[in-house]
Amino acid sequence: MPKITYVAVDGTEQAIEVPTGTSVMRGAVFNDIDGIVAQCGGNAQCATCHVYVDETTLDKLEPMESNEDGMLDFTACPRRPNSRLSCQLEVTGALDGLIVHLPERQN
């Protein structure tokens, strides 16, 4: 299973094996990683699953769709060039080794 590393605001890292076909958001929520709210349940409608993708692993991701791009303007913490909505990141083999940083808050 692809391994994804979630880095908390205090720097704590948790590497989780996340099944393919699910999302980076669900990988966190279903493995007791706090810091992702995902209020809308994974539909790119609330921007509460915001993550900063580690620059060294940005190339593992597909480009975002326009709905994710639009929603990223509504994140609680500032949007940066490496901002993504984790619910829109479908876990595939290509994501193995992905590192995401959790923002200070989601709402």
Residues that bind another protein (CB under 8 A): 29-30, 32, 37, 39, 41, 43
Q: Which residue's CB is nearer to another protein, number 28 or number 53? A: 28
Number of neighbours of residue 46 by Cβ within 10 angstroms: 20
Q: What DSSP designation does 90 have?
A: B
The whole-angstrom separation of Cα 55 and Cα 39 is 26
Q: Which residue's CB is nearer to another protein, number 39 or number 67? A: 39
Supply the minimum distance, in Å, between the C-beta of residue 44 and another protein.
13
- Name, in order, each residue with C-beta under 8 angstroms of 71's C-beta and a sequence gap of 6 or more: 44, 45, 46, 47, 85
Supply the minimum distance, in Å, between the C-beta of residue 62 and another protein.
21
Supply the minimum distance, in Å, between the C-beta of residue 18 and another protein.
14
Supply the minimum distance, in Å, between the C-beta of residue 59 and another protein.
29
The answer to whether the CB of 60 falls within 8 A of the CB of 15 is no
The whole-angstrom separation of Cα 107 and Cα 59 is 28
Q: Which residue's CB is nearer to another protein, number 39 or number 92? A: 39
Q: Which residue's CB is nearer to another protein, number 26 or number 60? A: 26
